[in-house]
A and B are shown apart, each in its own frame.
Chain A
């Protein structure tokens, strides 16, 4: 069953004023439980607006959103429950930290859920482990940490609610390469261990190809494509035309194939590239023997 479903979902900002802006229009989506979905699209295409509908932070101008089989706006009073089910990590989440200690900040979500002391403690420590924060950080002030560590505290603050769906809006923006890899790998292992559904908004086609199973492409407030990584990135020309790209390594293989080398163009990660090159070289070697 689809964990998230939208039907004719549209959102208009500041309706009826000169600043009226349709940020998303007529979005129909079905996201299956347990999928790892990469979300790509030009700045201003409506990615952030779309994902804020999935946990009820924005109310649709028209259309419907179902989470776990329930229309989330059917009962407005219950909208907080949806936010525990669908965890959302905003862009630059470290700016939301406010507590005196790392532990208490991460515990903010679980406390709002009304969990018991014991459950809170357990979920906080578990979340810290998922993001690779040593338990010794629990009593430190979040404001004394480095940028990357702050961000991990903020992500832990959402993971601690144990959401069935975890949405991350550009979680690696502004981090150094090591910090980026670390966070993405932690998200991946969280996905594998808990079987939760992940939506990852990113501008890095490499990261999307490496981690996601499916790709959602938003273009000019509409869904342009929602399909597997291979199928989406095989539409190279269209993606480039809308100001997006395909992974660099795929571009390399595209050029190689154009120049007449017997390589496949369906290579999206460095790992796959290595295997493809070895395959081609081995075949050549065999032909020379």
Chain B
């Protein structure tokens, strides 16, 4: 069923990672990505694993959930790994006719696969521990400097949070409309591509109409409460950096420095 798709996979909780300032989480996620891509050898990857193990451990997010996020991209990992294994030049360890697998290729493939998995796990930790609303708040706050160049930061963040808010609602609505049209004998599962596209009309039209109706109602409700955009607007929930954020920042920077030192002083390990 369409409802089973999970979007904005927030996993509510009270762990220190959940309680961190969302801005710090976004910034540290960027630090983490830099760290991940500056890693040059296996010792560096140990640092990445340490970083992930500590953060996931503290966040109390079930490890199973983390793995679930990786599943959809397994085909991508397999595909890039195979490409790397076959097309990187170096010492062949296996050869059939034109195709050969090289040691360098295998090493590179393994590193690439590890990077992709670590990237997904690390960034999903951000979305698992931060509610979509907190996330848009953080983005708005971090992008504030762009206001200087007349970029509508607040409006963009508001659009993002409204969109996120209405995704589940629209999915539910789609589900209902699909059921109603199926009850009138709509056939969504068979036929040629053209017929299937045509069969979507009875679903898309009511869906658009209801989306517009909701948008209008929401706009009206916002105007009734005198919403007028970001100018002079104060916040109920002020974002404040705390002690937790300091610890997290120190830990992340130590990991980054560790990786840089390893790169400088232990370049011989593959």
- Give 5 closest A-B pairs by Cβ, nearest first: A112-B185, A98-B205, A96-B180, A109-B184, A88-B183
List B contacts of A97 (CB < 8 A): 206
Q: Min CB distance, B186 to chain A, in Å? A: 6
* Residues in A whose Cβ lies below 8 Å from that of B182: 57, 83
For the complex formed, measure the closest distance between the CB of B246 and the CB atoms of chain A, giving whole angstroms. 33
Taking the complex as formed, is A84 at the interface, i.e. its CB lies under 8 A from any CB of chain B? yes
Given A95-B177, A96-B184, 14 other A-B residues pairs in contact with their CB atoms under 8 A: A52-B179, A57-B179, A57-B183, A80-B187, A83-B182, A83-B183, A87-B183, A90-B179, A90-B183, A108-B181, A108-B202, A109-B185, A112-B187, A158-B183
One digit per residue, 1 when the CB lies within 8 angstroms of any chain A CB and 0 when it does not, for chain B 170-210 equals: 00000011011111111100000000000001100110011
A93 within 8 A of B: yes
Do A157 and B177 form a contact, CB below 8 Å, given A95-B210, A98-B202, A98-B205?
no
- Chain B, interface SS category: helix
* B223 contacts partner chain A, Cβ-Cβ < 8 Å: no
Find chain A residues with CB under 8 A from B187 CB.
Answer: 80, 112
Given A95-B206, A96-B206, A98-B201, A112–B184 Cβ distance below 8 Å?
yes
Is the pair B185, A83 in contact by a Cβ cutoff of 8 Å? yes
Contact B206 A158 (CB under 8 A): no
Cα A52 to Cα B206 in complex, Å, equals: 20
Asked if A242 lies at the interface with its beta carbon under 8 angstroms from chain B, I say no
Complex: A90 Cα to B182 Cα, angstroms: 11
**In the complex, are the beta carbons of B184 and A157 less than 8 A apart?**
yes
Contact B202 A158 (CB under 8 A): no
Give which listed residue, A14, A93, A113, contacts B180 with CB less than 8 A: A93
B231 an interface residue at 8 Å Cβ cutoff?
A: no
Most A Cβ at <10 Å: residue of B4, B176, B182, B185: B185
Complexed CA–CA distance, A161 and B184 (Å): 8
Q: Are A98 and B184 in contact (CB under 8 A)?
A: no
Residues of A contacting B209 in the complex (Cβ-Cβ under 8 angstroms): 95, 143
Residues on the B chain within 8 Å of A98, using CB:
201-202, 205-206
The CA-CA distance from A21 to B128 in the complex, in Å, is 23
- A55, A98, A109, A161 — most chain B CB neighbours (10 Å): A98
Q: Which chain A residues lie closer than 8 Å to B183 at the CB level?
A: 55, 57, 83, 87-88, 90, 158
Q: Which residue of the partner chain, among B4, B177, B185, B201, contacts A96 with CB atoms under 8 Å?
A: B177
How would you classify the secondary structure of chain A's contact residues: helix, strand, loop or mixed? helix
B-facing mask of A89-117, CB < 8 A → 1, else 0? 01001011110000000001100110000
Choose one: A52, A80, A90; the contact of B185 (CB below 8 Å): A80
Interface size on A, residues (CB 8 A): 23
Q: List 29 A-B contacts (CB under 8 A).
A: A14-B4, A57-B182, A80-B185, A83-B182, A83-B185, A84-B185, A88-B180, A88-B183, A90-B176, A90-B179, A90-B183, A95-B176, A95-B180, A95-B209, A96-B180, A96-B181, A96-B202, A96-B206, A97-B206, A108-B181, A108-B184, A108-B186, A109-B184, A109-B185, A112-B187, A143-B209, A158-B183, A158-B184, A161-B185
- What 0/1 pattern do residues 110 to 143 of A give for CB contact below 8 A with B? 0011000000000000000000000000000001
Q: Which residue of B lies closest to A57 (CB)?
A: B179
Chain B residues with Cβ below 8 Å from A93 are 180
A21 CB, min distance to chain B CBs, angstroms: 12
CB–CB B201/A90 < 8 A: no
Q: Which residue of B lies closest to A154 (CB)?
A: B180
Q: Which residues of chain B have C-beta atoms less than 8 A from A80's C-beta? A: 185, 187
A93 to B184, CA, bound (A): 12
Complex interface: chain B residues within 8 A of A83 (CB): 182-185
Residue of chain A at shortest CB distance from B201:
A98
Query: CB-CB < 8 A to B201: which residues of A?
Result: 98
B183 to chain A, nearest CB (A): 4
A84–B177 Cα gap in the complex (Å)? 17
B166 CB, nearest partner CB in chain A, Å = 16
Smallest beta-carbon distance B113→chain A, Å: 28
Q: What are the residues of chain A within 8 A of B180 when measuring CB–CB?
A: 88, 90, 93, 95-96
> In chain A, what residue has the closest Cβ to B210?
A95
B65 to A: closest C-beta gap in Å:
10
CB contacts (< 8 Å) of A88 on chain B: these are 180, 183
Within 8 A of A (CB), among B199-258: 201-202, 205-206, 209-210
> In the complex, which residues of chain A have a beta carbon less than 8 angstroms from the beta carbon of B185?
80, 83-84, 108-109, 112-113, 161
In the assembly, what is the distance between CA of A157 and CA of B210, in Å? 19
Considering residues A55, A96, A158, A161, which has the most beta carbons from chain B within 10 angstroms of its beta carbon? A96
Could you say which residues of chain B place their CB within 8 Å of the CB of A52? 179
Chain B nearest CB, measured from A217 CB (Å): 24
For A110, give the chain B residue with the smallest CB separation. B185
Q: Is B206 touching A112 in the complex (CB atoms < 8 A)?
A: no
> Which residues on A sit within 8 Å (CB–CB) of B181?
96, 108
In the complex, chain B residues whose CB is within 8 Å of the CB of A143: 209
Interface centre among B4, B184, B187, B205, by most chain A C-beta atoms within 10 angstroms, is: B184
